[in-house]
């Protein structure tokens, strides 16, 4: 509903998972069951059912010309690119970066759907009564709706989403700057696996191979992966779209910083670029306490792990490698999309 009480327009069909499929997908959770799962739109993007609470608000979100979006499929280097974009847009405000968590500098539009279940709200209630300030901050975050917070936030706003362009406001690219970062899906899957295995109290009971099968069969949140990425890829020539590859950032970070600066209309000296690249190096970046507020539930920085490319080779058996080759070929057969340094 809008503030005026009128029903918000939402043009996409929503289908719930069939009972047998839902039972299979929910096996991975060790705690109280999460929401049911749904598929949205003609491409069948997968979300928790709680997404429906926020989807119309997101689709009808009132954009501003000075909004900056960072979008991606999860675990594609989003946090790294968020920091880069924010720093460049804010003239390398190192003090602000240190003192303001990234989760406060960016609003994550569909955040609320992740915590729309009894188990998470019980954690939030528990943490809100704690004497630990970090836990109190996390409790407030778990109870918040970023799309509502963002609507009332002063400009300029920085916004994160893992949604495909089709589920974001229709005038997004004609109104705002959008940076999309894509990563080889095999590395995405490994990063996703370690992410969900690390977060305390939210642990999954699943093996990598099981998660891989959910991923390639479009049974994991935000899948289908390639549809998400290709929606941005096809709009890469739009003047308000900057499409980045995670692998390119790893290979030549200074060039990526310069591309982002040019895209945002910022001028940087070589010294400024060099200092920012040092700030963004994974050795320094992973140590930053200002990135997220999740230290209350995990001793690790759950959004920044190794910062490597090609690590999937250590985890995939021969069957998975062949599945990956076939799956990628099938999904890219009619597209000019290609990952840097792609190998069969």
Q: Is this structure's pTM higher than 0.85?
A: yes
Residue 300 is predicted with a pLDDT of 46
Q: Report the alpha-carbon distance of residue 10 to residue 322 in Å, rounded.
A: 39
Phi-psi region of 278 (alpha: psi -120 to 50; beta: other; left: phi over 0): alpha
Residue 78 is predicted with a pLDDT of 95
Question: Nearest 5 degrees, angle CA 33-CA 140-CA 116?
Answer: 25
- Exposed / middle / buried, residue 256 (Cβ in 10 Å: 0-12, 13-18, 19+): buried
| Assigned token pair, 266 | 């910022």
Q: What is the largest CA-CA distance in the chain?
A: 58
Q: How confident is the model over 276-329, as pLDDT tens digits?
A: 999 999 777 766 654 554 444 444 444 444 556 788 999 999 999 999 999 999
Residue 301 is predicted with a pLDDT of 43
Residue 307 is predicted with a pLDDT of 55
Q: Note whether 161 and 69 are within 8 A (CB).
A: yes
Phi-psi region of 41 (alpha: psi -120 to 50; beta: other; left: phi over 0): left
Residue 240 is predicted with a pLDDT of 98
Residue 103 is predicted with a pLDDT of 86
Handedness of CA 283, 284, 285, 290 (dihedral sign): positive
Spatial strand order of the sheet with 241-245 comes to 107-108, 158-161, 68-71, 177-182, 241-245
Which CATH number is correct for 60-328, 3.40.50.300, 3.50.50.60, 3.40.630.20, 1.10.8.100? 3.40.50.300
Reported as half-sphere exposure (CB side, CA atoms, 13 A), residue 258 has a value of: 10
Residue 253 is predicted with a pLDDT of 96
C-alpha gyration radius of the chain:
20
Residue 216 is predicted with a pLDDT of 97
- Closest C-alpha among 266, 82, 238, 232 to residue 174: 238
Spatial strand order of the sheet with 45-48 comes to 14-16, 37-40, 45-48
Q: Which residues of 169-203 are buried (b: 16+ CB within 10 A; e: fewer)?
A: beebbebbbbbbbbbbbbbbbbbbbbbbebeeebe
Residue 286 is predicted with a pLDDT of 67
Question: Which regions in the chain score pLDDT beneath 70?
Answer: 1-6, 30-34, 117-119, 199-204, 286-308, 341-344
Q: Report the alpha-carbon distance of residue 252 to residue 257 in Å, rounded.
A: 9
- Closest C-alpha among 82, 106, 141 to residue 295: 141
Residue 288 is predicted with a pLDDT of 63
Q: Where are the beta strands (DSSP E) in the chain?
A: 14-16, 37-40, 45-48, 68-71, 107-108, 158-161, 177-182, 241-245
- Closest C-alpha among 240, 127, 122 to residue 180: 240
Residue 199 is predicted with a pLDDT of 64
């Amino acid at each position: 509903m809008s503030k005026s009480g009128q029903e918000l327009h939402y043009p996409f069909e929503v289908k719930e998972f069939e009972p047998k499929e839902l039972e299979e997908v929910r096996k991975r959770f060790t705690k109280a069951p999460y929401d049911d799962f749904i598929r949205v739109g003609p491409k069948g993007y997968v979300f928790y059912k709680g997404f429906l609470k926020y989807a119309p608000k997101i689709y009808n979100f009132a954009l501003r010309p000075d909004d900056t979006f960072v979008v991606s499929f999860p675990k594609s280097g989003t946090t790294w690119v968020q920091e880069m974009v924010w720093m460049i847009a804010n003239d390398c405000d190192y003090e602000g970066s240190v003192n303001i968590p990234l989760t406060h500098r960016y609003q994550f539009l569909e955040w609320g759907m992740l915590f729309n279940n009894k188990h998470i709200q019980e954690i939030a209630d528990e943490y809100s009564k704690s004497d630990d300030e970090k836990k109190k901050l996390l409790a407030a975050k778990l109870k918040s709706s970023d799309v509502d917070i963002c609507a009332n936030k002063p400009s300029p706003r920085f916004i994160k989403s893992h949604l495909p362009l089709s589920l974001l406001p229709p005038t997004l690219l004609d109104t705002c700057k959008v940076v999309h970062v894509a990563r080889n899906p095999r590395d995405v899957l490994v990063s996703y696996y370690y992410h969900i295995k690390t977060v305390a109290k939210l642990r999954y009971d699943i093996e990598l191979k099981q998660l891989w099968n959910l991923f390639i069969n479009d049974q994991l949140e935000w899948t289908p992966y390639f549809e998400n990425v290709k929606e941005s890829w096809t709009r890469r020539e739009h003047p308000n779209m900057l499409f980045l590859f995670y692998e390119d950032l790893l290979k030549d970070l200074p060039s990526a910083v310069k591309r982002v600066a040019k895209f945002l209309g910022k001028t940087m000296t070589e010294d400024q670029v060099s200092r920012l690249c040092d700030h963004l190096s994974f050795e320094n970046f992973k140590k930053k306490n200002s990135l997220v507020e999740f230290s209350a539930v995990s001793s690790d920085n759950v959004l920044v792990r190794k910062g490597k490319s090609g690590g999937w080779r250590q985890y995939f058996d021969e069957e998975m490698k062949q599945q990956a080759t076939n799956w990628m070929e099938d999904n890219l057969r009619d597209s000019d999309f290609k990952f840097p340094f792609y190998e069969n």
